[in-house]
């Protein structure tokens, strides 16, 4: 049975299910939920928390602004995730010696231990996802995502938040 919205979509020539931004968002959300379920169960981490932890684990001491830039996360999400991780003893926050108003985040020993468990779990989940594609498809997908991301960044121009740290 067709609904009025189906008729309208056909008249407009717009198919939401075929619209790339929609498909990317839906797939991204599903993949994130898959990761979140595992991270929550094993480490008690939310998606923003594991992203912050993973970025600081990879790049070392960073400002919240830089964490947000690497993760493409807004400042509020980074701030909330960082505050929770600091409260749990996974991150240490200290003043930025180069910026009196700024702060820096780094892993604590406990955070390093948790990060050491998060990385293999992430790799395991990624390997499970990769099983749904051929090796050539997986390689192509990764290349295309990098290329598309670079193109979007070129279209967007510089992020106004990048200048302030």
52-68 burial: b if 16+ Cβ within 10 Å, else e? bbbbbbeeeebbbbbbb
- 37 occurs within a structural domain: yes
Residues of the chain above pLDDT 90, percent: 75
Q: What's the CATH number where 87 sits?
A: 1.10.10.10
pLDDT at 130: 97
110-139 pLDDT tens trace: 999 999 999 899 999 999 999 999 999 999
Q: What pLDDT band is residue 163 in, cutting at 50, 70 and 90?
A: very low
**Distances 104 to 51, 87, 125 between C-alpha atoms, Å:** 16, 15, 30
- Which residue range is the domain that position 80 belongs to? 4-132
The values of phi and psi at residue 104, to 5°, are -125, 145
40-87 pLDDT tens trace: 999 999 999 999 999 999 999 999 999 999 998 999 999 999 999 999
For residue 119, tell me if it sits in a domain: yes
| pLDDT for the residue 5 | 56
pLDDT of the residue at 10: 59
In a domain, 95, yes or no: yes
Residue 38: closest CA among 118, 111, 116: 118
Q: Does 122 map to a domain? A: yes
In the chain, the number of structural domains is 1
User: Using CA atoms, how far apart are residues 40 and 54, in angstroms rounded to an integer?
Assistant: 14
Domain for residue 154, yes or no?
no
The reported pLDDT for the residue numbered 6 is: 57
Confidence class for position 165, pLDDT limits 50, 70, 90: very low
In this prediction the pTM is: 0.78
Q: Is residue 41 part of a domain?
A: yes
In a domain, residue 141? The reply is: no
* Mean pLDDT, rounded, of the chain: 89
Examine the pLDDT at 157 and tell me if it is beyond 70. yes
Decide which of 153 and 128 is more confident. Answer: 128
Considering the domain boundaries, does residue 148 fall inside one?
no
């Amino acid at each position: 049975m067709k609904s009025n919205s189906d008729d309208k979509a056909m008249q407009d020539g717009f198919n939401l299910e075929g619209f790339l931004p929609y498909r990317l968002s839906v797939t991204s959300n599903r993949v994130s939920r898959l990761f979140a379920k595992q991270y929550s169960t094993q480490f008690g981490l939310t998606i923003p928390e594991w992203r912050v932890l993973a970025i600081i684990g990879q790049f070392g001491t960073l400002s919240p602004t830089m964490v947000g830039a690497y993760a493409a996360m807004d400042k509020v999400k980074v701030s909330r995730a960082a505050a929770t991780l600091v409260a749990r003893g996974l991150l240490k926050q200290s003043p930025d010696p180069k910026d009196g108003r700024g702060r820096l985040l780094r892993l604590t020993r406990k955070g390093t231990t948790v990060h050491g468990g998060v990385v293999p779990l992430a790799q395991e989940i990624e390997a499970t996802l990769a099983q749904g594609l051929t090796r050539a498809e997986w390689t192509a997908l990764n290349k295309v995502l990098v290329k598309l991301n670079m193109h979007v960044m070129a279209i967007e121009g510089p992020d106004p938040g990048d200048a302030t740290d």
